[in-house]
Structure 1
């Protein structure tokens, strides 16, 4: 009789095991793969979140830096991990929006090989110009650029970066003619921006704002859709160009087929973490605004972001060279 029912018992076990596993999650430390180098802004952000997340989940969340190939090495590692919730990925605009929008040959499908869990935060950029720029706001700057077609340039941290795409987005929306000057990082562009050799740069708050506060540069606007609560007196570009938005988003993913119970558990924990005042203060110092929300909302944000950059890349005929 036992032998007769053995196949049915095995089948039942196969059905309940994933659920039971998810109900006891997490039972051991979780690895959070960061596909960028230690010490960089994404890494600093990940460590701030992982500490609080670990407290909420009752297990240590270990940051594991796997840099290389523009984030593809670490992202691929996370995609191939077991779908048990013990390997998560901190994805960004670079890994899941920009790279596929450029049609890069990746060893994974950013839309099919991951389970969206939650959007953690957004980091808008500042529109920075030299102090002697004859424009005090975005509207005046666009008018100035239109009067000087082909004479102005913009700096970026290299082809294919969000910094470049934001400037190209501005070019398209404002219908201005700007020349691209690529640097190996925005910090290297700062001296030329201050001297007036470069006419505009979109830079992150943590690196750009100190120059504004010290009187070395002028900030015309922020690139979030609405004014940033971190700088409430600074207008958004969208106040002149309706709908304009360019942010670097950060979000948690698991491998595809991650159990729904695990997704729900991590999502709820992150949303609670983002309500923590200390967490909000730490993110503010990094120029990051808390996000949160549902997995579906996160997936929609990424899909729309990818489509936007794909449109800009196609219309502006951008390449990675």
Structure 2
């Protein structure tokens, strides 16, 4: 009798697994069945938004479904990011994230708060871009070089302002690396995103900003901004006259603003695979590549184990940087 019960139970379990596999496969084949919301956790105009627009257009073409970009700003990126962590895990809500995805939960812990989300609530689809950051100032600023900027900042502690997308945002972490390495006391002015910070810089109410190349490229071309240095290991193509911090004697000052697409962790793997396949094809195609290159952020596509390794290493490095910043009052 026990043997009959075990056999019956095994058959039922096998049938349930088969039905689940069929249902999952059917769901993947039907995906997407409606619009895919691509959430950007920052206002329009910043690096995530600049990347999201052409990526969304490419996915719309691939899936023949709307892919609206939804700017859900607040708390330096926490509000929009946490909303995706809580979204239904069906592939119809995705997050176009920056490297601050790793930073914000650690910053919340340092501030004595429970994180609104954790990194393990997301499944990585792929990395899209990975830009070294640029230090930019208004064209009318007195500094013609990094050396002049550093010398002036050392002579006037707390007088030079810089903006960011919020406390512990990627732009804040990058500048904190510089101020720590160079022994500078700059006045940090947090905004609700990189777009508003850039607007403040262009209006002359800020003195400096760390930014990915994309948002500042048009203003550099128009002569409204000047780039003093970059956080990359090598000079950025198209910005060959801009030195790296490493060249100028700051070997620890290296930072990248990357963008990647994520979905809630419980999203079925076949759905993730369909989304990843469409994104891979778009990143390999000329239209998206041209759009991102024109925006100053060339494709640096990674997926699977390569992206997982990159994300884990970057996550650990950024957490160490946030811990060095410490609690922000």
Q: 1:64, 1:133 → 2: CA distance? A: 35
Contact 2:230–2:244 under 8 Å retained in 1: yes
2:103 to 98, 105, 130: 98
1:7 aligns with 2:12: yes
Question: Structure 1 residues 232 and 259 mapped into 2: Cα distance closer, same or farther (>3 Å)?
Answer: farther
Matches within 5 A, 1:224-235: 224-235=232-243
Q: 1:40, 1:316 → 2: CA distance? A: 26
Question: Structure 1 residues 19 and 203 mapped into 2: Cα distance closer, same or farther (>3 Å)?
Answer: closer
Q: Deviations over 1:185-230 (max 9, x none)?
A: 322234547xxxx654323435534444444543122233332234
Identify unmatched segments of 5+ residues in structure 2.
1-7
2:163 to 156, 161, 168: 156
2:283 to 274, 278, 289: 274
1:81 to 80, 84, 87: 87
Superposed CA RMSD: 3.4
Q: CA deviation at 1:141?
A: 5.0
1:286 aligns with 2:295: yes
**1:262 counterpart residue number:** 271
Q: 1:252, 1:258 → 2: CA distance? A: 13
Q: Secondary structure at the match of 2:37?
A: strand
Question: Structure 1 residues 226 and 10 mapped into 2: Cα distance closer, same or farther (>3 Å)?
Answer: same
1:53 aligns with 2:62: no
Contact 1:166–1:246 under 8 Å retained in 2: yes
Q: Deviations over 1:280-317 (max 9, x none)?
A: 22113333231211233333333333333332332233
Contact 1:230–1:284 under 8 Å retained in 2: no
1:107 to 102, 107, 116: 116
1:317 to 304, 310, 326: 326
Q: 1:68, 1:128 → 2: CA distance? A: 24
Q: Deviations over 1:67-99 (max 9, x none)?
A: 1433434333322334333332222233x1221
**2:209 counterpart residue number:** 201
Matches within 5 A, 1:12-31: 12-17=17-22, 19-21=24-26, 24=29, 26=31, 28-31=33-36
Q: 1:166, 1:235 → 2: CA distance? A: 16
Q: 1:304, 1:63 → 2: CA distance? A: 31
Q: Secondary structure at the match of 1:108?
A: coil
For normalisation by structure 2, the TM-score amounts to: 0.76
Q: 1:249, 1:235 → 2: CA distance? A: 20
Q: Secondary structure at the match of 2:326?
A: coil
Identify unmatched segments of 5+ residues in structure 1.
none
Q: 2:220, 2:149 → 1: CA distance? A: 17
Contact 1:35–1:73 under 8 Å retained in 2: no
1:67 aligns with 2:72: yes
1:251 to 245, 256, 260: 260
Contact 1:145–1:177 under 8 Å retained in 2: no
Q: 2:140, 2:87 → 1: CA distance? A: 52
Q: 2:154, 2:74 → 1: CA distance? A: 40
